Amino acid sequence: MLGDIKGNLDAVTDLQKKNGNSEEYLAKNPITQINSHAIDQLHPLQEHVSYPKWIAFDLDDTLHDFKHASQTAINHVFKLIQYDNPNIQTNELQSAYQKICKSLVTPFVDGRQSHEYRMERFSLLLDTLHLSKDPLASYIDGYEYSFNQAITPYEGAIELLSALNNKTQIAVISEGPHDAQERTLDTAKMKPYVKALITSNRERVSKKDGLFQRFMEQENLKPEDLLVIGDSLESDILPSNKLGIKSILFDPNRKHQNGAPQIRAEHLSQILSVIEKIVDFDK
C-alpha cells in the first residue's frame, strides 16, 4: 500500500514537472491525492523548507468544532424558550429553526453584527410558532454565552498555530460575522497567533466571489505567497485553486473520500508534513 502511495506521489511530481510550476498545475488540475499519514511514515520532515509568506486558515470546522458549539448553543436557547412556553415541543422548535436557517443561508456579506443575524433568526422562530418576543434579548444573550462556553479548538490546533507562527504569517479567512469570529479566536486562545482576520462580513464578498483575491490585493501577494487550509471544497479549496493558490483540504470525518481526491489531511497534526511536501514540489 505504501508503495502505491509513493508511486502516486512520484506521478504527481512528474506531472508537476511536465506542467510547469505547481500553481499552474493546481489551477489546471486541482485533483491530486496525497495520503498525508503515509507521507509522515515515508518522509522525515525537511530541514530547509521555504514556507509561503502567509498561511490562511478557514475558522469554523477547521480550527474549532463550530458544529458542536452552535448545536450546544441552539439547544440551550430551545430550553429557555420551553421554560417560558412549557407546551412547545423540542421537535417543533428544531424543525421551524432548520427551515428558517435554510431560507437565510448567507455568507454574511451584508456587514451586519452577529447579534443582528441572531435576532432575525430567533425573531422569525418566535413569530412562526406564535410565541412571545419579549424575552428575545435574553435568548440572544443565552445563545452567545452558551456558544462561547462550548467553543472547542480541534486537537492540535493551538500546537499547529504555534509551530507555524515561527515560520510564516497566519491569517484566518472566514465567512462569518466579523465580531463573532473575533470572539471565537479570543475564546479559543488563538488570537496571539493570528496576524490578520479577514471576513466576508467585513469585506462584503464571499470566498467564491473574491475574498481570497481581496486579501492578496491588500497584502500585495502572488499566489505562491499564500497557502489555504480549510474544510470546504466549495468555499476554501476550489476558489483558492482557481487563483493558483495551493491548498490543503482538512477532512477529519473523511467526508470527501469518495469524491474528487485532494491534497488533504485528516488530522491537524498532519498539516506540517503535508505543507512541507507541497512546498517542496517547487524545488
Per-position DSSP letters for 64-84, written without gaps between them: B-HHHHHHHHHHHHHHHHHHH
CB 178 within 8 A of CB 185: no
CB nearer to Mg ion: pick between 64 and 118:
64
Segment near Mg ion (CB under 5 A), from 38-46, 54-62, 103-111, 200-208?
A: 54-62
Least distance between Mg ion and beta carbon 248 (Å) = 13
Stretch that binds Mg ion, among 58-66, 91-99, 201-209, 269-277 (CB under 5 A): 58-66
Which member of 23, 58, 65, 182 binds Mg ion (CB under 5 A)? 58
Work out whether 266 is an interface residue with Mg ion (CB under 5 A).
no
φ, ψ of residue 24 in degrees (nearest 5): -65, -40
Taking the C-alpha atoms of residue 283 and residue 278, their distance in angstroms, rounded to an integer, is: 10
39 CB contacts (<8 Å, ≥6 apart)?
Answer: 5, 9, 270, 273, 274, 277
Question: Residue from 61, 141, 203, 219 that binds Mg ion (CB under 5 A)?
Answer: 61
Q: Least CB distance from residue 95 to Mg ion, whole Å?
A: 25
Kindly state whether residue 175 participates in binding Mg ion, applying the rule CB under 5 A. Answer: no
Segment contacting Mg ion by CB under 5 A, of 83-91, 115-123, 231-239, 255-263: 231-239
Contacting residue, 60, 171, 173, 181, with Mg ion by CB under 5 A = 60
65 near Mg ion, rule: CB under 5 A: no
Q: Return the residue of 23, 65, 182, 231 that touches Mg ion, per CB under 5 A.
A: 231
CB 256 within 8 A of CB 264: yes
Between CA 212 and CA 56 the distance in angstroms is 9
Q: Which is nearer to Mg ion, 47 or 234 (CB)?
A: 234
Give the number of residues in contact with Mg ion, rule: CB under 5 A.
Answer: 4
Among 261, 215, 247, 244, which residue's Cα sits nearest to residue 9?
261
Grid cell of 76 as nine digits: 440551550
Tell me whether residue 23 or residue 60 sits nearer to Mg ion (CB atom): 60
The dihedral over CA atoms of 33, 36, 38, 41, expressed in degrees to the nearest 10, equals 150
Binding site for Mg ion (CB under 5 A): 58, 60-61, 231
